Amino acid sequence: MAAAGTAPIQISLDPISAGAGTDDLLAALLRVNPRVSDLIFSPGRKFQIQVNGEFVPVAMPGAPSLTADDTRRIASDLIGNNKAAISMLREQGYCDVSYAIPGLARFRVNIFIQRGSCAVVMRVIPTVVPNFKALGLPEHLQGIAGFHDGLVLVTGPRGSGKSSTLAALLDCINETKICHIITIEDPIEFLHNHKRATVHQRELHSDTPSVVHAMRAALRQAPNVIAVGELKDCETMELALEAAETGHLVLSTLNTLNAQQTVERFVGAFSAAEQSAVRDRLGRMLRCVISQRLIPRKSDEGRVALFEVLNAGSGVLSSLMENRTVNSAGIDTSRELSFDTEIEELVRAGIISSETALMYATNAPALSKKLAASAK
């Protein structure tokens, strides 16, 4: 696969300016590579796709670059008659919508205004809910389906697959437990059919005016499990804690790199006067933190997933709840904080390069020394 900055890939399709439909355009871009994860449409640029974390330009005959009219037309097709999204785009300069091409693909779409014109970013969503094996998730995480209450957080940088992991966890609960699941998403990504559980999925703007409103309403809708796409602010975090404390199992995501950042981000969202009490509450209700990363393989074979799982009662998580640094607590973290250990093993196995390893390591200098020592 060509990297960004190289000669663009050529695909055969009449340029959008000549009247090609948006669905035809999207289908053509998806055919470029089976691992396309994102599409970007920006005025003054060629079509762009993201494959294995790298952006690649795509050229069409007669369409050297997109115009502002092109991106506006694409945005209009994607929004359709969604009045809430149109209003949000006008008032706030951006909107999120979901879009589907029946039988082919679904997308999470963000449309925003920049320099007076529209730009569009689309995340490709698999049409089938991923399972544990497909994602490489540790099998022991299936035990989350047995939790009756508490808070489970899936964390990682953007684009690391958090939504897929959350969907797999929900599907596991759906398959194994007779219960009521409510999801609150912006927008809905994976579609969950009723299995053993009854699943209701609510989408921001079309089904509810806000995440906060939906979370408050959920407490009156007799759910056993509440899944929130992302905890973004103090109010949603407070409601998640409240739901966990009142007997619900709450699953959500945070854009943090590891468990330590997760606890700091959660507690730090509250005022200084509240932080001690919030840390105590979080310590009682946090059942599991799943941190993950996707690392490009050395060859063009996609990316490999790494997971770091900390369960309630573990030495590291207990230390974080007590506001102590992990190392000063004198805890042997070699078994609990394993990202760098796994990355080192991948380098030794020839799966990833040492340069890539250092880019994704938690402690790059320490890993560099280990790799250098082993090379001697």
* Contact (CB, 8 A) for 32 and 9: yes
Number of domains in the chain: 2
Q: Indicate whether 168 and 248 sit together in one domain.
A: yes
How is residue 368 written in tokens?
Answer: 């560099």
Domain presence at residue 362:
no
- Omega before 365 cis (within 30°)? no
Q: Indicate whether 197 and 249 sit together in one domain.
A: yes
Locate tokens 């006067």: which residue? 273
Q: Indicate whether 147 and 280 sit together in one domain.
A: yes
Domain presence at residue 344:
no
Q: Indicate whether 93 and 142 sit together in one domain.
A: no
Written as tens digits, the pLDDT of the chain (376 aa) is 344 445 556 555 544 444 568 998 899 899 888 889 999 999 999 899 998 888 888 887 766 789 999 999 999 999 999 988 999 999 999 999 989 998 888 999 999 999 999 999 999 988 889 999 999 999 999 999 999 999 999 999 988 999 999 999 999 999 999 999 999 998 888 999 999 999 999 998 889 999 999 999 999 999 999 999 999 999 999 999 999 999 999 999 999 988 889 999 999 999 999 999 999 999 999 999 999 999 988 876 788 999 999 998 888 888 888 876 555 333 434 334 468 888 999 999 999 999 999 998 888 898 999 888 877 6
Rounded Cα distance between 70 and 15, Å, is 10
Q: Indicate whether 101 and 222 sit together in one domain.
A: no
Q: Indicate whether 60 and 100 sit together in one domain.
A: yes
Instruction: Name the domain boundary from 98, 125, 152.
Output: 125
How is residue 299 written in tokens?
Answer: 């060859």
Say which CATH number the domain at 119 has: 3.30.450.90
41-61 pLDDT tens trace: 999 998 999 988 888 888 877
Instruction: Name the domain boundary from 125, 145, 169.
Output: 125
149-200 pLDDT tens trace: 999 999 999 889 999 999 999 999 999 999 999 999 988 889 999 999 999 9
Say which CATH number the domain at 323 has: 3.40.50.300
Rounded Cα distance between 146 and 175, Å, is 12
The CA-based angle 25-69-159, given to 5 degrees, is 55
Q: Indicate whether 67 and 194 sit together in one domain.
A: no
* Contact (CB, 8 A) for 150 and 244: yes
Between the two ends of the chain, the Cα-to-Cα distance in Å is: 33
Domain presence at residue 364:
no
Instruction: Name the domain boundary from 125, 145, 179.
Output: 125
Question: Which residues lie below 8 Å from residue 85, measured CB to CB, with a gap of 6+?
Answer: 79, 95, 96, 97, 111, 205
Question: Which residues lie below 8 Å from residue 146, measured CB to CB, with a gap of 6+?
Answer: none
Please list the alpha-helical segments (H only) found in the chain.
22-30, 68-79, 83-92, 132-135, 162-176, 211-218, 234-245, 259-268, 272-285, 315-321, 339-348, 354-360, 364-375
Closest CA to 288 of 151, 131, 135: 151
Domain presence at residue 219:
yes
Q: Indicate whether 308 and 216 sit together in one domain.
A: yes
Locate tokens 């602010």: which residue? 233
Domain limits at 84? 9-125
